[in-house]
Chains A and B, each alone.
Chain A
Amino acid sequence: MNKKKGDKGFESPRKSVVVSLYSRIGFVELTIFPTVTNLNRIKLNSKQCRIYRVRINDLEAAFIYNDPTLEVCHSESKQRNLNYFSNAYAAAVSAVDPDAGNGELCIKVPSELWKHVDELKVLKIHINFSLDQPKGGLHFVVPSVEGSMAERGAHVFSCGYQNSTRFWFPCVDSYSELCTWKLEFTVDAAMVAVSNGDLVETVYTHDMRKKTFHYMLTIPTAASNISLAIGPFEILVDPYMHEVTHFCLPQLLPLLKHTTSYLHEVFEFYEEILTCRYPYSCFKTVFIDEAYVEVAAYASMSIFSTNLLHSAMIIDETPLTRRCLAQSLAQQFFGCFISRMSWSDEWVLKGISGYIYGLWMKKTFGVNEYRHWIKEELDKIVAYELKTGGVLLHPIFGGGKEKDNPASHLHFSIKHPHTLSWEYYTMFQCKAHLVMRLIENRISMEFMLQVFNKLLSLASTASSQKFQSHMWSQMLVSTSGFLKSISNVSGKDIQPLIKQWVDQSGVVKFYGSFAFNRKRNVLELEIKQDYTSPGTQKYVGPLKVTVQELDGSFNHTLQIEENSLKHDIPCHSKSRRNKKKKIPLMNGEEVDMDLSAMDADSPLLWIRIDPDMSVLRKVEFEQADFMWQYQLRYERDVVAQQESILALEKFPTPASRLALTDILEQEQCFYRVRMAACFCLAKIANSMVSTWTGPPAMKSLFTRMFCCKTCPNIVKTNNFMSFQSYFLQKTMPVAMALLRDVHNLCPKEVLTFILDLIKYNDNRKNKFSDNYYRAEMIDALANSVTPAVSVNNEVRTLDNLNPDVRLILEEITRFLNMEKLLPSYRHTITVSCLRAIRVLQKNGHVPSDPTLFKSYAEYGHFVDIRVAALEAVVDYTKVDRSYEELQWLLNMIQTDPVPYVRHKILSMLTKNPPFTKSTESPLCNEALVDQLWKLMNSGTSHDWRLRCGAVDLYFTLFGLSRPSCLPLPELGLVLNLKEKKAVLNPTIIPEVVAGSQEFPGSQDEEEVDMDTVHDSQAFISHHLSMLERPSTPGRRAREHHHHHHHEHKKKKKKHKHKHKHKHKHDSRDKDKEPFAFSSPASGRSVRSPSLSD
């Protein structure tokens, strides 16, 4: 803690931000206390903002602005390898990292105040800034229809990945710098500005056309948790909790009402388990369009995607939306109210919020759903770690040298949140809450909740204290503080656990097999580990094994040690089925089993390794098929059932078929298990195709469950009152469509069956919408498609269309057209149709053509449609190796108005790349390398997530080192020399550029080292004179920024000028690039030699 103060040299107890979005100008006032005597420079974070005046205690202060992240590598640099970029990027982010005391904006304390500072007295910094055409941080949504901004439903909201508040006002953009806030926003009278804290009052401006919203946040909060949403929102006060207010866009109020009607229960749950009141005096939820992420939690408010809203008729979206609500609320406690000390403590917050969210899931959706979710998350993290080589929760950066990077297997630095790949960060959060669950396993839930309660009560005591009491740091959580709390509360030592899962990356991979020794009546279990593959680690410690025998279920705890592979487990059941008696299960239930299938000599029914998932592991266990079948039928744990289903895929026998069918029919069985059984049954049926008897798998079952008694070919009219059968009804046809006959075609019977389901679908008497059901029917049709028999590359025309495909196409056409007239919720049907069309194209039934998808991918379609269409284009790009489409996608990444879509294209391209580093492709050429390089180097500086996405794609396409398609440099050394020269002699190139752009302020002025500026007044006057330069009206067409909110006001004389100015500004920063890396931490000596040698 002290270190931080020393770094920064000040603390800021109060901050007020005033933004008038009408003219997009604002000011920030920071009150800071110097903590060191020789504070003469203050560094703040700011991006995009045009700062034109800084005053400290009413004295003009000189400032300098330098943002090395605008262009990471020098544009002249010929280097194209990703290693180089990642290092440079990490260095650039470090150079402005607020936690290290850095920032883009450096303010010099006027010499008159030095004495003042030495006495450690209060400084008031007043910064005037304007925000022009922000490309990130604030997102404007302005539909292009007639009417005023409010009538058009135009709105704006803050967004970003991790600490991104600097994009819209200058601040110390760190989660660890707490202060209280006073926020004022002046907006159009028809708009509502929602921000953090209490709305104190709303006042009209003098002309009565605008309103100013005054917010006060008395709980110390980090700048990164400050947010804003402005729009013509409809307001709904929660009927259960009047201090909670919900906001949505016009016309959606009925949906908002239904969607949020559940929220109070989440509140009650968290408050009860944490035995702590919700920390803020109010809570606001805002639902906005074109959301950056589905859920974003900020102090006392959460911003959601408007697409989470749903009516009472929608089944599938309801649990998803409720989960989002619960997730955001958990983050209100841990993440917003309690903030983190540093980036390496992030896992604690994500872990706790994810963990209590899990508890909520368990209570709301039941233990089965919870265990299923844990298993799902575990599988995800295991798969990711094995693929990429590990996720490290608590990176410790010792010497600070990049050499001992703890995550050298990755193509990005994990030292900063802003350099992380988005996928890595998602997995990071996933692992964090799983580790929290492991801690709970160790110390019990009771202690766990006590620890949380302790953290919260300390924080709330601290939050009510005055700044001077130095208590506020209690509101920040650190790994060590958290661990200390745990050991205080529980008295248990969890250090080994932390060391294994938190301080170290990787998961455990077990291989298990066994033999039964009849003579000794002992189960000889062999457990091997793979700890050499990337992403794995060695596990030493206890491991629970559960053995189900004839006489009951027994838990054994094995000690996994260095060299012991074999474990002898004595069996309890002496004799085998001597008497006909019931078999006791783990949960005390006793059941009758048909034991004829089992091995006569062995009393073992099934064995499970680590049944409670108390190790982050992957288990590959070998046991006989009948054991898996018993496990599926009689083990009551849904995870075990799912594991056995997965294992049975390898045993296509009539017995497996019977076990799966029985599970499918059993109504007490968890619906997700039954759904999984459908797909497994389809696979088994395909493997058994030559010996399969009877109608196609699941057909008679479906008929029995969902069709009319009198006419079995007609499905009953829809009644989705029972959600379990609803999900099963949706899934079964999808799985059935995967069936194949001996010719590897989908049986005609199945196709007719599905077509009949569609034909007789009747939802008129149903209380719920059937849009998801119909969408899945189209998915089923798509699943039934098999590759076309093509006679030497004939052109696909209508005439040679397969008659089955013709029927499918008929349905798709009708569905897709009906969607235009009667759109379904979230256009699920359109999405499925687009996917199905792509499947038809890919299988050669329909000519492969991206035109249709491209038209659906345009801005203005619902985001789900766009993503589905883009996915098809991405796939087309890959399959047809189309350079044109790749360019089209890349262009969209750069120009699309929706940040989420841009991010999504990148991640889809990464997942389904047109080529990879290990394959040859005609697409891979120098121009593409340059283009992508430019994209990640400078094209995405306004969005961390996008930049990291571009890095991921670059890595997938070209790998870490120099892309193979680039011509070999004649001599590596020459390149280095060039590089060195450029760095050593930075003034040469920049001046050329500056000159050519006729930049008003000469290069020298900008580069002046702060230490050398003695006459700050002169410096300022120069800056001011730059600003006062007469503007050139009409230079830029007004329409040019018509998508900005409050454009019509003539108020800003300087606006045009500023705009132009900012433009130049970027180029100026580019010019300064070479010294970007040299500045970290030291903050001085811009002219120090390069670091490249």
Chain B
Amino acid sequence: MADAASTPGASGSGTRSGSKQSTNPADNYYLARRRTLQVVVSSLLTEAGFESAEKASVETLTEMLQSYISEIGRSAKSYCEHTARTQPTLSDIVVTLVEMGFNVDTLPAYAKRSQRMVITAPPVTNQPVTPKALTAGQNRPHPPHIPSHFPEFPDPHTYIKTPTYREPVSDYQVLREKAASQRRDVERALTRFMAKTGETQSLFKDDVSTFPLIAARPFTIPYLTALLPSELEMQQMEETDSSEQDEQPDTENLALHMSTQALPVGLDSCETGVCDLLAVEPLVSPGGTAHPAPRPQACAPLGQMFRDESGAEKENTSVLQQNPSLAGTRNGEDTIIDNPYLRPVKKPKIRRKKSLS
């Protein structure tokens, strides 16, 4: 079932034996693929309103398109391996696209645009012989915007999910118990990890591992950590102020807190990405299938995922918005107040020469 998902760059072209130019099947494969890309570029150019194009420029564009697609594949693979999987899922690709600066929101609309040109299927000589796997059920037909030469949907059993979730745990006691023990576990694991990786102190001379205390480390400016509320607290303050009715399940909330705390809340997109991953994970797992969701089927979760992502983004921006509001408060008032400390510093007068000694 692993063959169902495939990297976009490699899809849709089979090898052609007995080619004119070369006897090497691999070369043929690449040539065929490139030709397809060329057709794609040409059709896009036509779509964009070009009548003709120089060969060199078409070649260049082809080269660019090829690199772009390869990069998506490479990057998606990295992301999937990062999460200890071997098969990229839709989310890997989405993350890749986001990472590459692509606005994923526009993709579905683009795919369904009216004036798009349908490219003829690449010349298929002989289909690679794939061992006939056990088929079960009827494969879904392609939706209209997917060319028919693209691979077929995998067997339904690989993606159709049967909602088998348990009755959501609503018992207050259990929830509290769960939240408490989960937090405790996280805290213990985290502190143990810190203790293992750093210097420790111990209360017992003979045993340094049972109750490891992270070594006391003096600060250069001790009052800052002691007085300023931590980012977690600031975030919390924000949350309790703005959304009392926030009814997220405890566990997720906690995961988010832990994650945002563990990582410095920064502006860079990398951090957003990590947040997304965390937000996405629970979406995959409740389905109960460890199987990576194949691409075409993922249309429905796609929208859901974007919603979710924008939610996470909102949360992040709200944290960030808070900082300027805390730090840059005196801008508004300065203009009207006459206070000697706010007056500009005078330039020295020539006359005014103080000798100090």
Chain A residues at the B interface, C-beta cutoff of 8 Å: 18, 20, 23, 25-27, 128, 143-145, 153, 184, 186, 189, 192, 198-206, 208, 211-212, 235-237, 239, 242-243, 245, 249, 251-255, 257, 282, 289, 306-307, 309-313, 708, 710-711, 714, 759-760, 762-767, 769, 796-798, 809-810, 813-814, 816-818, 820-823, 825-827, 837, 840, 846-847, 849, 851-852, 855-856, 858-864
Contact = CB atoms under 8 A, between A and B. Distances in A.
B268 interface: no
10 contacts: A206-B348, A242-B339, A255-B227, A708-B176, A766-B236, A813-B211, A820-B217, A825-B229, A837-B203, A852-B201
A837 B227 CA distance: 24
A818 B191 contact: yes
A847 B341 contact: no
A211 B344 CA distance: 11
A401 to B, nearest CB: 46
A202 B345 contact: yes
Nearest to B212: A813
Nearest to A856: B216
B213 A817 contact: yes
B213 A816 contact: yes
A211 B218 contact: no
Contacts of B207: 797-798
Interface string B322-357: 000011011001100111111101111100101011
A364 B272 CA distance: 47
Contacts of A242: 337-339
A313 B237 contact: yes
Contacts of A766: 236, 240
A765 B238 CA distance: 11
B190 A826 contact: no
B221 interface: yes
Interface string B230-241: 101100110111
Interface in B240-259: 240-241, 244, 253, 257
A826 B340 CA distance: 33
Most chain B CB within a 10 A radius of its CB, from A306, A817, A859: A817
A237 B339 contact: yes
A27 B223 contact: no
B227 A710 contact: no
Contact of B176 (A235, A311, A714): A714
A253 B329 CA distance: 9
Contact of A810 (B176, B211, B228, B346): B211
Contact of B327 (A254, A818, A827): A254
Contacts of A253: 327, 329-330
Contacts of A837: 203
A847 B205 contact: yes
B253 A764 contact: yes
Contact of B203 (A27, A313, A809): A809
B172 A809 contact: no
Contacts of A708: 172-173, 176
Nearest to A19: B356
Interface in B150-173: 172-173
Contacts of A26: 356
A20 B203 contact: no
Contacts of B204: 796-798, 846-847
B215 interface: yes
A252 B228 contact: yes
Interface of B: 172-173, 176-177, 179-181, 184, 187-188, 190-191, 194-195, 201, 203-207, 210-230, 232-233, 236-237, 239-241, 244, 253, 257, 261, 326-327, 329-330, 333-334, 337-343, 345-349, 352, 354, 356-357
A846 B203 contact: yes
A663 B85 CA distance: 63
Contacts of A310: 227
A236 B342 CA distance: 9
Contacts of B240: 765-767
Given A202-B346, A821-B194, A311 B229 contact: yes
Given A201-B346, A762-B176, A846-B203, A862 B226 contact: yes
A823 B230 contact: yes
Given A199-B341, A242-B339, A289-B223, 6 more contacts: A243-B339, A312-B237, A820-B191, A825-B226, A851-B201, A855-B215
Contacts of A765: 240, 244
A212 B187 CA distance: 52
B256 to A, nearest CB: 11
Given A255-B227, A798-B210, A153 B221 contact: yes
Contacts of A211: 345
Nearest to A189: B345
A25 B356 CA distance: 7
Most chain A CB within a 10 A radius of its CB, from B181, B213, B329: B213
A762 B217 CA distance: 28
B191 A814 contact: yes
B80 to A, nearest CB: 31
Contacts of A25: 356-357
B227 A306 contact: yes
B241 A822 contact: no
A711 B177 CA distance: 11
Contacts of B327: 253-254
B243 to A, nearest CB: 10
A203 B227 contact: no
Contacts of B261: 821-822
B206 A797 contact: yes
A852 B205 CA distance: 12
Most chain B CB within a 10 A radius of its CB, from A18, A769, A821, A856: A821
B154 to A, nearest CB: 42
B341 A818 contact: no
A672 B329 CA distance: 38
Nearest to A852: B201
A822 B195 CA distance: 15
Contacts of B334: 237
Contact of A822 (B172, B180, B217, B232): B232
B223 A769 contact: no
A215 to B, nearest CB: 10
A578 B305 CA distance: 80
A855 B203 contact: no
Given A817-B194, A823-B230, A855 B180 contact: no
B233 A313 contact: yes
B223 A249 contact: yes
Given A211-B345, A759-B180, A145 B211 contact: no
Nearest to B210: A798
B357 A309 contact: no
A860 B220 contact: yes
Contacts of A764: 236, 239, 253, 257
Nearest to A257: B329
B347 A204 contact: yes
B222 A252 contact: no
B70 to A, nearest CB: 41
A144 B220 contact: yes
3 nearest A-B pairs in the assembled complex, by CB-CB distance: A860-B218, A817-B191, A199-B340
A557 to B, nearest CB: 52
B329 A203 contact: no
B213 A145 contact: no
Contacts of B345: 189, 202-204, 211
B176 A862 contact: no
A769 B340 contact: no
A128 B224 CA distance: 39
A760 B175 CA distance: 11
A128 B357 CA distance: 7
A18 B354 CA distance: 10
A820 B257 CA distance: 17
Given A237-B342, A242-B338, A711-B176, A847 B222 contact: no
A760 B329 CA distance: 37
A860 B227 contact: no
A903 B122 CA distance: 88
Contacts of B233: 313, 769
B222 A863 contact: yes
